[in-house]
């Protein structure tokens, strides 16, 4: 049985407002806003970022809370265990371990970040030029990089430190003399893929210069892998600096480095374990934090994981 209703008032159309039709239910996000949103959802990466922030605060503000300079010697206070007066104890010369840990944090973060920035500049320019021009220039630049990469990294660093002497500047130069090679390969590989995109061909057809194509179109679209590679380069530089200082090729007294503190604490490990444990702990936690942040950035910048 069919029921027919002949009443037009039951079928009145809904009123529509032009503003409602254009209303966006979800606010639009830029690329970097979306990256930050996805990065925050990664608890492990956020934990690494918080650790790095705490280490930065320790390096910058830590000495303010210590009444003992890192170079001050008190032989009567040597090898004191951690206490309210000396939070991290003292070493064999009575120097405050907390103040020396703060000084070591400054050196490690400075060396790691500076070396990574120099590797970034050299690697981006080297790989960018090789990928952009191609042909003989690409072969020449990459073969030079291959020859330098064939030489053991630590051997090059140690030889340069021996020739130039110890100190912050020689360490940074030694770390960056071949440290940019990995960055250049990453940049070259990314730009070689981007060169085949339509917008690059369109920019070339419109007469854009090679410099504009590189810095305006290619590099901004390859920033994700570049940032991740830079983030993962920092802990390598920090560990290498600590290793050189452990061998006695790094910074010299009265400056304090985590590597030199670990070297000084090694003979006393059995009787005064905090002297070795503390610098080793800070080296490990710093490298772990940078690796966690790097993994989080890699996931946040991966377009395949974007929702």
- The pLDDT value recorded for residue 73 is 78
- pLDDT of 239 > 60? The answer is yes
- The pLDDT value recorded for residue 16 is 59
Question: Which fold would CATH assign to domain 49-69+86-305?
Answer: MetI-like fold (1.10.3720)
Kindly list the domain boundaries of the chain, sorted by start residue: 49-69+86-305
Q: What are phi and psi of 90, to 5 degrees?
A: -130, 165
How far apart, in whole angstroms, are the C-alpha atoms of residue 163 and residue 157?
10
Query: Scanning the structure block, which residue is given the tokens 């239910």?
Result: 25
Q: Are 235 and 112 in contact (CB under 8 A)?
A: yes
Which pLDDT band holds residue 15 (cuts at 50, 70, 90)? low
Angle at 239 between CA 234 and CA 242, to 5 degrees: 125
From the CB of residue 198, how many other CB atoms can be counted at a distance below 10 Å?
7
The total number of residues written for the chain in this structure: 307
Which of 14-28, 79-93, 278-292 is predicted least confidently? Answer: 14-28
Which pLDDT band holds residue 214 (cuts at 50, 70, 90)? confident
Non-local CB neighbours of 15 within 8 Å, separated by 6+ positions: none
Q: What is the mean pLDDT of the chain?
A: 82
pTM here is 0.80
- pLDDT of 10 > 80? The answer is no
Nearest residue to 209 via CA among 220, 222, 200, 221: 200
At 261 the three-state DSSP class reads helix
- The pLDDT value recorded for residue 204 is 81
How far apart, in whole angstroms, are the C-alpha atoms of residue 233 and residue 287?
10
Which pLDDT band holds residue 205 (cuts at 50, 70, 90)? confident
Query: What are the pLDDT digits (tens) for 125-146?
Result: 998 888 888 888 889 999 998 8
Percentage of the chain lying above the pLDDT 90 cut = 10
Query: What are the pLDDT digits (tens) for 95-126?
Result: 888 888 888 888 888 988 999 999 999 998 99
Non-local CB neighbours of 101 within 8 Å, separated by 6+ positions: 58, 62, 88, 256, 258, 261, 278, 279, 282
Query: What are the pLDDT digits (tens) for 223-234?
Result: 888 888 888 888
Helices (H), 62-134: 97-133
- pLDDT of 67 > 60? The answer is yes
Nearest residue to 217 via CA among 198, 242, 231: 198
- The pLDDT value recorded for residue 53 is 93
How far apart, in whole angstroms, are the C-alpha atoms of residue 202 and residue 198?
6
Which of 16-30, 32-46, 80-94 is predicted least confidently? Answer: 16-30
How far apart, in whole angstroms, are the C-alpha atoms of residue 35 and residue 177?
32
- The pLDDT value recorded for residue 118 is 92
């Amino acid at each position: 049985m069919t029921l027919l209703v002949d009443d037009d008032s039951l079928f009145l159309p809904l009123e529509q407002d032009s503003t409602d039709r254009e209303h966006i239910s979800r606010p639009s996000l830029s690329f970097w806003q979306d990256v930050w949103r996805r990065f925050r959802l990664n608890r492990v990466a956020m934990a690494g970022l918080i650790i790095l922030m705490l280490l930065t605060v320790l390096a910058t503000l830590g000495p303010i809370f210590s009444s003992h300079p890192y170079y001050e010697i008190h032989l009567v206070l040597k090898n004191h265990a951690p206490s309210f007066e000396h939070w991290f104890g003292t070493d064999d010369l009575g120097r405050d371990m907390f103040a020396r840990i703060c000084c070591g944090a400054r050196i490690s973060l400075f060396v790691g970040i500076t070396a990574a920035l120099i590797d970034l500049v050299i690697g981006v320019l080297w790989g960018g030029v090789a990928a952009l021009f191609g042909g003989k220039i690409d072969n020449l630049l990459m073969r030079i990089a291959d020859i330098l990469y064939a030489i053991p990294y630590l051997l090059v660093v140690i030889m340069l430190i021996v020739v130039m002497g110890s100190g912050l500047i020689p360490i940074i130069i030694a770390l960056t003399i071949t440290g940019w090679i990995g960055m250049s390969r990453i940049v070259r590989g990314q730009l070689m893929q981007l060169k085949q995109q339509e917008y690059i061909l369109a920019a070339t057809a419109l007469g854009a210069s090679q410099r504009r194509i590189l810095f305006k179109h290619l590099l901004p679209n390859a920033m994700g892998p570049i940032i991740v590679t830079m983030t993962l380069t920092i802990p390598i530089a920090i560990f290498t600096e600590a290793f050189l200082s452990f061998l006695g090729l790094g910074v010299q007294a009265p400056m304090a480095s985590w590597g030199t503190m670990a070297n000084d604490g090694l003979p006393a490990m059995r009787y005064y374990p905090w002297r070795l444990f503390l610098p080793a702990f800070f080296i490990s936690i710093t490298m772990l934090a940078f690796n966690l942040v790097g993994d989080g950035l890699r996931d946040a910048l991966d377009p395949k994981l974007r929702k």
